[in-house]
Structure 1
Amino acid sequence: MSTPEILVAGETLVDFLPDRSGPLRAVEGFTRRAGGAPANVAIALARLDEQPWFLSNLSTDAFGEFLAATLDEQGIPDRFLTRDGDHRTTLAFVAHDTSADRSFTFYRTATADQHIDPGVVGNNVLENLPWVALGGVALASEPARSRLLDFAERAHKYDCTVVFDPNSRPELWPDAATYERTLDEMLALTDVCKVSDEDLVGTRFADRSTDSLLDAGPHTVLSTRGAGGARVVAVERSPWGPAEHDHPGYSVDPVDTTGAGDAFLAGVLCALADEQSLDEVLAFANAVAALTTTEYGAVDALPDHETVLRFRTN
């Protein structure tokens, strides 16, 4: 196995998918699936032939054993996966509306993903690592928040390209002020930011999202628009120079949008690591995301590289 060029850091949890659309009170059955945005990104990268390192903390409870087995089956190296016998696994119950969009109800009190330990990643690893990607959910609680901010600063110091997805879940944060303050701190250490409109609601970035985000630190911002595709804006200090590109997305019949944003980010990372142009990055990432919505579950629906290429040529 070649040494991974991308390290993904963040939570791993269990999603419970409903047996029908509608509010949770009307759901009688659920199907268990591995989830957590960074875990989805890591597995998607492995499917796309860009095997990453993955930094996370798994409980030793039954759900943690399930997650560990899933990551192993998906070919994710366990070098930076720690195990935790003192905390349980985060659970997320998903509800779908009639357009396949989803909402989450989290059970996340004193859980393992809040105790990620970036100290297991040595500076010797960061010295030779081109890409580090972090998700926002793990930043919602201490001690993971402080640990991951320190890790992002360390990665920045060693010239890793830091990629950040805020992935806002307001219900997980103690208050809006903590979220905005953490967002400011993280953006100052970020090179590439992937964001949706929902991530910026209630923050100072909501009105002029792209310009204000670029002013806050990143040199490149990718904005997702769901079925409407995506946009990328890069400024002159970016490695690829100033650029603006839009992609309209692909027409599919969605059944579950869980993990589509994570699949998009994996597509971005894969294409950037392959030194593709920004317009090609958008097209590839949109294809990965579109395919993910055509099946249930964030992990089960992730396509391999050949499937993405075939989809784009049809």
Structure 2
Amino acid sequence: MKHIISLGELLIDFIPMKQVQLEEACYVPHAGGAAANVAVAIARLGGLVRFIGAFSEDQFGQLLIQKLVDNNVDVGYSHLVREVPTTVALVTLYPDGQRHFTFFREQTADSQLRAEGLNWDAWNDVAVCHVGGVLLSTEPGRSATLAAIEHTHQVGSLVSFDVNIRPTLWDSSSAIRNIIMNVTEQVDILKLSIEEAEFLIANKEEFASNALELSKLKKLGEAFLEKGPDFVIITLGSRGALLFTHKHQIEVPAMQVAPIDTTGAGDAFMGAILYQLVQQGINTPEDLLTLSEYEISNLGKLASLVAGLSCTRYGGCSSFPYMHEICSVMDAQKKASISSADQG
């Protein structure tokens, strides 16, 4: 089985132990960062994954790297950055489990990943390189991400991209649109939330209102397919997700849970998608074009389970389920379905 690379940020999420007023909150540090989260999600399902990023020599940086190691993520190609702190994100939780991030990321370690420091040996047995929007927000991380994308194309592997827009990390809305859309044209797999999709296509009048209607959601997916990707994923929160290829459009319902913290749910979903693609031998852009409607539906179903279970626990990667937990849930669902059919 080939490896997956997840390249990007590694940071600390400070998450309140429960939903209370800010002055009453007790915050607990959790390992986070979208790229690191995706790596852990893949590893907990049993995939082979490498995390490539820059980390601090401070206490948080050491904690983060150890967290990845403990989860069987290969960190051998990551970079230690001295005399700079680890990025911190203060997470505000809302009653429905949704969250808001306040970042402290001025000249911090994760933003210091450099193109000239990348070791291309890491790509020798890789099926997919996954990148994200946070590192694109500033230099030198932007150039490192673009170099990784270019090299992935050169070796014939898949490029996966989660736009993961965090507006406060960028100079302007126009910079976000210009850079994110430019990268979108260079990738094979694109993942974004409905809010991000609407933001990026806001200049098109047909998406200016009632964009949550299914017909307009499908037009959004088709619009992004036209930009270059062969597989587009639009996540809809509690409504599930839509998965698009040039041949198929699949609606995936969300797992019905009572969420307490949705931090990292999208990363869990994406990790599960990438894990399954590699398990199925999808290693090149040409392979991606062979996916059937049935296969795409199965990708979404398992990813929905992984993301749903993560929402029932606090934290980002610490909340992600292992494959044995997923199998237990699937077995329970199967038994319930059989019992229901027998009673009918």
TM over 0.5: yes
- 1:266 maps onto 2:264 in alignment: no
Whether the aligned pair in 2 keeps the contact of 1:176 and 1:202 (CA below 8 Å) is no
- 1:230 maps onto 2:241 in alignment: yes
Q: Post-superposition shift, 1:143?
A: 1.1
- 1:37 maps onto 2:28 in alignment: no
Q: CA RMSD in A?
A: 1.7
Distance in 2 of aligned mates of 1:27 and 1:49: 39
**2:312 maps to which residue?**
294
Distance in 2 of aligned mates of 1:124 and 1:28: 45
**2:253 maps to which residue?**
248
**1:307 maps to which residue?**
325
Q: Deviations over 1:226-267 (max 9, x none)?
A: 1111111101xxxxxx22211112111111100100000001
Distance in 2 of aligned mates of 1:180 and 1:88: 29
Q: Deviations over 1:94-144 (max 9, x none)?
A: 111111111111101001111113445444543532111011111111111
Q: Deviations over 1:192-234 (max 9, x none)?
A: 1111112234323672521221111101101111111111110
- 1:282 maps onto 2:294 in alignment: no
Distance in 2 of aligned mates of 1:63 and 1:125: 25
Identity of aligned residues (%): 30
Whether the aligned pair in 1 keeps the contact of 2:263 and 2:311 (CA below 8 Å) is yes
**Greater per-residue helix proportion:** 2
Q: Secondary structure at the match of 1:216?
A: coil
Q: Secondary structure at the match of 2:256?
A: coil
Relative to the length of structure 1, the TM-score reads 0.92
Q: Secondary structure at the match of 2:229?
A: coil
Whether the aligned pair in 1 keeps the contact of 2:9 and 2:33 (CA below 8 Å) is yes
Q: Deviations over 1:151-203 (max 9, x none)?
A: 21221222110010001111111111111111122111110111111223432
**1:70 maps to which residue?**
67
Distance 1:66 1:181, change over 3 A: same
Q: Secondary structure at the match of 1:130?
A: strand
Match of 2:14 among 6, 10, 16: 16
Structure 1's unaligned 5+ residue stretches are 236-241
Whether the aligned pair in 2 keeps the contact of 1:22 and 1:98 (CA below 8 Å) is no
**1:239 maps to which residue?**
none
Q: Secondary structure at the match of 1:202?
A: helix
- 1:169 maps onto 2:180 in alignment: no
Q: Secondary structure at the match of 1:65?
A: helix
Whether the aligned pair in 2 keeps the contact of 1:56 and 1:117 (CA below 8 Å) is no
Whether the aligned pair in 2 keeps the contact of 1:168 and 1:198 (CA below 8 Å) is no
**1:193 maps to which residue?**
190
- Aligned AA (1:91): V
Relative to the length of structure 2, the TM-score reads 0.84
Structure 2's unaligned 5+ residue stretches are 208-218, 281-290, 333-344
Whether the aligned pair in 2 keeps the contact of 1:23 and 1:95 (CA below 8 Å) is no
Q: Post-superposition shift, 1:51?
A: 2.4
Task: Select the structure of larger CA radius of gyration.
Answer: 2
Q: Secondary structure at the match of 1:265?
A: helix
Distance 1:157 1:101, change over 3 A: same
Distance in 2 of aligned mates of 1:158 and 1:27: 52
Q: Post-superposition shift, 1:53?
A: 0.9
- 1:155 maps onto 2:173 in alignment: no
Distance in 2 of aligned mates of 1:251 and 1:136: 29
Whether the aligned pair in 1 keeps the contact of 2:13 and 2:90 (CA below 8 Å) is yes
Range moving further from structure 2, 207-216 or 59-68: 207-216
Distance in 1 of aligned mates of 2:297 and 2:251: 7
- Aligned AA (1:283): K
Whether the aligned pair in 2 keeps the contact of 1:188 and 1:218 (CA below 8 Å) is yes
Range moving further from structure 2, 213-222 or 304-313: 304-313
Total equivalences in the alignment: 305
Whether the aligned pair in 2 keeps the contact of 1:231 and 1:246 (CA below 8 Å) is yes
Whether the aligned pair in 2 keeps the contact of 1:18 and 1:27 (CA below 8 Å) is no
- Aligned AA (2:222): D
Q: Secondary structure at the match of 2:186?
A: coil
Distance 1:125 1:68, change over 3 A: closer
Whether the aligned pair in 2 keeps the contact of 1:55 and 1:118 (CA below 8 Å) is no
**1:111 maps to which residue?**
108
Whether the aligned pair in 2 keeps the contact of 1:233 and 1:245 (CA below 8 Å) is yes
Distance 1:285 1:217, change over 3 A: same
- Aligned AA (1:10): G
